[in-house]
Amino acid sequence: MSGKVTQMIKEEDVDSRIKELAAKIDEDYKGEEIFIVCILRGAAFFACELVKRIKAPVTIDFMQVSSYGAGTVSSGEVKIIKDIDLSVRDKNVIIVEDIVDTGNTLSTLRDIFEHRKSKSVKICSLLDKPDRREVEVDIDYVGFSVPDKFIVGYGLDWDQRYRNLPYIGVVET
């Protein structure tokens, strides 16, 4: 693996934006219970920081899906590796993702949770890469819009590396 990581979004800016997103979620749900579905592994860092700042009652569960493997470009095929353990029936679901690029994963997951009779389904993503969109998907809560570059840090990885960077960076190859 070769390549240098250049900081794109500072840790302080990420933290500040997460606080803003949590406040907006609280405002939108006005104390109603929220069911957070964290998409592993990348969104774990973001979801933990987000949930700590939400004042409304929160339940959290985890789902692992894959559309990348070891590559740097989405394969387009969404594979559920680990499903959630709890029922989302009649719950306000917020799917928490690290980054939305093609939209394939989030479009599929939204359909799954609607089919499971959730009261509502919203999407919250730390990052949005709109130039890569193949499937239109509404993202209700977006941290930052980023260019079509390979992004790492703050949970996002390159073949399982760089997740632990406290900032969001770009891999320069």
Q: Which residues are catalytic?
A: 101
Residue 73 Rama label (left phi>0; alpha psi -120 to 50; beta): beta
Contacts of 54 (CB under 8 A, 6+ apart): 22, 25, 26, 34
d(CA 166, CA 145): 18
Cβ neighbours of residue 159 closer than 8 Å, sequence gap 6 or more: 1, 70
Residue 161's φ and ψ, nearest 5 degrees, are -110, 160
